[in-house]
Amino acid sequence: MTAYEARWLDEREREIWIALASLLIRVPSALHTQLQRDSGVSFFEYQVLAGLSEAPDRTLRMSRLAVLADGSLSRLSHVVKRMEEAGWVKRRPDPEDGRYTLATLADAGWEKLVEAAPGHVAEVRRLVFDPLSKAQRRQLQEISRRIGEASVVDEAGSGE
């Protein structure tokens, strides 16, 4: 599609897009700031700890964990290396397929997550849920689901 064929945003769509783009930047930044201040972990590190905590045996393949934490495998590798040095995570080859690496949440990582979770949840509630009515929360869930599905289809169709 050339620039001349583009379906440009109308004024209302542009206002909605600017509001959404701002939200997509500000909320993760605020969550990161709160986690750093109160627990000394980044938002990404928290996502890694939380993802492992919810997995069977607190263990996931690194590739799956990267998807859950919404980061590249390279970024995850660097972060998990630091987390391993801190004693929060352990890595080992996947016994079912040695091409993969498993990450397991260590007890110290669980303790760090338990320390960080109450403040994080309070901040999520303050930023996302408290300003909305129950109906708006349901709408946000549906809107988020639809946008998320569209982005997955786009990624799959991009040929990468």
Instruction: Please tell me the distance from the alpha carbon of residue 147 to that of residue 29, in angstroms, as a whole number.
Output: 21
The pLDDT value given to residue 1 = 55
Virtual torsion, Cα 91, 110, 78, 38, nearest 10 deg = -170
**92 confidence band (pLDDT: 50, 70, 90):** very high
Query: What residue segments make up the domains of the chain, in order of their start?
Result: 30-151
The pLDDT value given to residue 2 = 60
Instruction: Please tell me the distance from the alpha carbon of residue 43 to that of residue 46, in angstroms, as a whole number.
Output: 5
| CATH topology for the 30-151 domain | Arc Repressor Mutant, subunit A (1.10.10)
Of 160 and 22, which is predicted with more confidence?
A: 22
Give pLDDT tens digits for 98-124.
Answer: 899 999 999 999 999 999 999 999 999
For the cut 80, the answer to whether the pLDDT of residue 18 exceeds it is: yes
The model's pTM is 0.86
